[in-house]
Amino acid sequence: MPLGFLLIILIGSLILNTPLALAPGVKMDFLTSLFTATTSVCITGLSVVDMSLHWSLFGKVVVLILIQIGGMGTVLVSSMILLALNKKISIKDRALLMDYFNLENIGGIIKFIRRVVRGIIIVEFIGALLYSFVFIPKYGLARGIWYSVFHSISAFCNAGIDILGPNSLIAYQDNFYLLSVTAFLIIMGGLGFVVWFDCLDTFKKSFKYKRGFRQYFHRLTEHTKLVLSVTGFLIVSGTMLVFFMEFSNPGTIGNMGIVKRLFNAFFESVTLRTAGFSSFSQENLRQATVLATCMYMFIGGSPMGTAGGVKTVTFFALFVNALGFAKGRNESVVFNRSFSEKMSRKATAVITVSLLISVTLTVLLMATEHVAMAPAMFEMFSATGTVGLSMAGTANFGIAGRIILIIAMYIGRVGPISMVVFFNAGTEEKNKISYAKGRFFIG
């Protein structure tokens, strides 16, 4: 999987570095092409150029394809290609797909893939249709359709890349309809495909047997209930946090009306979940807000979706494990179901390594680019969480800073995925030996 992402990035970089991909008068620069390909495949959204002016129509189409591949994942895309060519998927590849999507058995994996692809197409089509009511009247039929398709895919894949200009969605901060459509696509992409299908299948059964909402929620799987609960909590708490901490800040939402402040705070809370679109300037955020929002970017979306971060369930597994220990419980329990010891250890490993990488790269960015801690931390957590929001202005960084960000975006995209697989590999030999218990003191 890491090699698959790397290969797509390199191919995308080479294509974007051709004259055909550049707008008239723009000079070729491989580092810029590499950065753009990386931010597209890793669905991050950080950019060192104005995407609307630097690339030709062909270049923007290439960027869109890279976003779609990055959002769906190389494993799913390669499986789709094999199915389209009527090629058989081997048992080994089916096992990889089962592990990638965290499915319980290998049976029905092909049916699941087809269902995922249909779901993606339907949601992105709905998003483009909803966007068209804004973009077609403003830009005309052909350009309006193109803008609708591009931003629907970018929002659903949590990429945060736009072709509207250098200021993201700031010009649309009064347009609650467009921000709502964008938020809807971001949330749908971040929930995860398994949650989609569980909600849909349970709804069909509830409608058929005329069950109420309480019975509907009760019949959802524990994973779906946890994802919906944690996602709802993060969105609401993030909205309140931004609303109250930035309420009187004229550089962000301080000059808006109450309703507009609240809605833009809601959109900021949603986009912090690895999306990268912004409806107001991030440069003027207060330092307390920066510190808090870094945590939201670090957590990210949910497993088996298009969002990045360490994932909601991973973070909650660590949290409930610590809470259970504090309460003296032998198990970490949620919705009357326990996390296995292996799952808790895996969550600890993913979060520890991800946090260590983010902090280390933040220090390197501060040392090489001489950036203050708050903007450097915000930029790095945005990169490793594949968010795409920027305080320091990504375009202002030199060669060293851009290379550090490229590494951060790549690790952020493949890290949580590859680490889960890595920690499960080659453990048979290591576990044949048991060591005597050591006397260590913690706390």
pLDDT per position as a tens digit, 353-373: 899 999 999 999 999 998 999
Quickly state the pLDDT bin for 77 (edges 50, 70, 90).
confident
Q: What is the pLDDT of residues 111-145, one digit of tens each?
A: 888 888 899 999 999 999 999 999 999 999 999 99
pLDDT at 209: 73
Residue 90 or residue 335, greater confidence: 335
Per-residue pLDDT reduced to its tens digit, 265-315: 999 999 998 888 999 999 999 999 999 999 999 999 888 888 888 899 999
Is 378 a residue whose pLDDT tops 60?
Answer: yes
* pLDDT band per the 50, 70, 90 thresholds, residue 427: low
Q: Which residues pair with 338 in a beta bridge?
A: 333
145-154, 166-175, 184-193, 379-388: which is most confident:
145-154
pLDDT digits (tens, 9 = 90+) for 381-407: 999 998 989 988 888 899 999 999 999
What is each CA distance from 275 to 182, 205, 300, 338, 410, in whole angstroms? 9, 33, 9, 31, 16
Band (425; pLDDT cuts 50, 70, 90): low
Whether residue 82 is predicted with pLDDT greater than 80 in this model: the reply is no
**The pLDDT of residue 423 is above 60:** no
| CA atoms 68, 73, 77, 78: torsion sign | positive
| pLDDT value at residue 146 | 96
Q: What pLDDT does residue 15 have?
A: 95
pLDDT at 416: 56
Q: Residue 421: what pLDDT?
A: 58
Q: Cα angle at 120 between 117 and 125, to 5 degrees?
A: 125
Confidence category of residue 439, pLDDT binned at 50, 70, 90: confident
Residue with the bigger pLDDT between 427 and 210: it is: 210
Residues paired with 22 in a beta bridge: 55
Average pLDDT over the chain, rounded to an integer: 87
Structure token pair of residue 335: 């919705």
Task: Place 105 in a pLDDT band, splitting at 50, 70 and 90.
Answer: low
HEC sequence for the chain = CHHHHHHHHHHHHHHHCCHHHECCCCCCCHHHHHHHHHHHHCCCCCCCCCHHHHECHHHHHHHHHHHHHHHHCHHHHHHHHHHHCCCCCCHHHHHHHHHHCCCCCCCCHHHHHHHHHHHHHHHHHHHHHHHHHHHHHHHCHHHHHHHHHHHHHHHHCCCCCCCCCCCCCHHHCCCHHHHHHHHHHHHHHHHCHHHHHHHHHHHHHHHHCCCCHHHHHHHCCHHHHHHHHHHHHHHHHHHHHHHHHCCCCCCCCCCCCHHHHHHHHHHHHHHCCCCCCCCCCCCCCCHHHHHHHHHHHHHCCCCCCCCCCCCHHHHHHHHHHHHHHHCCCCCEEECCEEECHHHHHHHHHHHHHHHHHHHHHHHHHHHHHCCCHHHHHHHHHHHHCCCCCCCCCHHHCCHHHHHHHHHHHHHHHHHHHHHHHHCCCCHHHHCCCCCCCCCCCCC
pLDDT of residue 275: 86
Q: Is the pLDDT of residue 191 over 80?
A: yes
Please give the pLDDT value at position 54.
Answer: 92
- CB contact set of 334 (below 8 Å; sequence gap of 6+): 222, 226, 316, 320
- The β-bridge partners of 333 are 338
Lowest pLDDT segment from 12-16, 103-107, 197-201, 343-347:
103-107
**What pLDDT score was predicted for residue 102?**
65
Measured distance CA(347)–CA(325) in Å, rounded:
15
pTM for the structure as a whole = 0.90
Higher per-residue confidence, 151 vs 332: 151
Between 73 and 279, residue with greater pLDDT: 279
- What are the Cα distances from residue 325, in Å, to 50, 317, 329, 330, 333? 50, 12, 6, 7, 11
Mean pLDDT to the nearest integer, 20-28: 91
Residue 70 to residue 68: CA distance in whole angstroms: 5
pLDDT at residue 346, as a whole number? 83
pLDDT of 21 higher than 70: yes
Q: Is the pLDDT of residue 92 over 80?
A: no
pLDDT tens digits, 169-185: 999 999 999 999 999 99
